Amino acid sequence: MIVIPDLTRLRELTGQHVGDSNWVVVDQDRINAFADATGDHQWIHVDADRAAAETSFGTTIAHGFLTLSLVSALMRNALSIGGVRMTINYGLNRVRFVSPVPAGARIRARIALGSASAVDDATQATWNVTVEREGTERPCLVAEWLVRYYPEQQGRGR
């Protein structure tokens, strides 16, 4: 894990590759749980027999939004920023689901800092995130993710 001591140091990393997460398995249980949580039970995600017979994937595939939802956890696995009291997911400028994530695949995030600047009482970072699948060259997902970091207030305890 990369430890960034504070928001000043974070801003100095603009334009750089910051780190990679550990590999995470996207298994069928996780896919099914996501289907239950979102109500998206399309057969390409939850019916292994039909997916094997009727798709070129040979198995079920993760929802694109499942892969996207894992970006936050992958980021926390890859880096930590000190001196922050609160972090807010501010949104996305761009997301592309480039290639599928078959059930059982291992994925990780490669994380670069596109920009970081002061916005009101926070630092807004634009992260360029590429989610890779182990054993393939083509990424699964590319995203430009906006995150706001609010610094610890001086003189206040946690």
Q: What is the DSSP string of 126-153?
A: EEEEEEEETT-SS-SEEEEEEEEEEEPP
Q: What is the pLDDT of residue 155?
A: 54
Query: What range does the domain containing 119 cover?
Result: 2-151
Predicted confidence at residue 153, as pLDDT, reads 83
pLDDT at 125: 98
Supply the DSSP string of 18-86, one letter for each residue: EEEPPPEEE-HHHHHHHHHHHT---HHHH-HHHHHHHSSSSS-B--HHHHHHTHHHHHHHHEEESSEEE
Q: What CATH number is attached to the domain comprising 85?
A: 3.10.129.10
76-86 average pLDDT score: 97
Q: In angstroms, rounded to a whole number, what is the distance separating the alpha carbons of residues 51 and 154? A: 55
Residue 158 pLDDT class (50, 70, 90 cuts): very low
pTM reported for the whole predicted model:
0.93
Paired with 147 in beta bridges are 89, 125
Between strands 122-133 and 141-151, the pairing is antiparallel
Q: What is the pLDDT of residue 154?
A: 64
**H/E stretch holding 7:** helix 7-12
Question: What letter represents residue 87's amino acid?
Answer: T
What is the structure's pLDDT at 8? 96
pLDDT at 156 over 90: no
Residues 6 or more apart from 105 whose CB is under 8 A from it? 25, 26, 62, 133, 134
| Any domain includes 156 | no
158 lies in some domain: no
Give the pLDDT confidence score for residue 67 in this predicted structure: 98
Residues 2-31 have a mean pLDDT of 98
Q: How many domains does the chain have?
A: 1
Give pLDDT tens digits for 92-124: 999 999 999 999 999 999 999 999 999 999 999
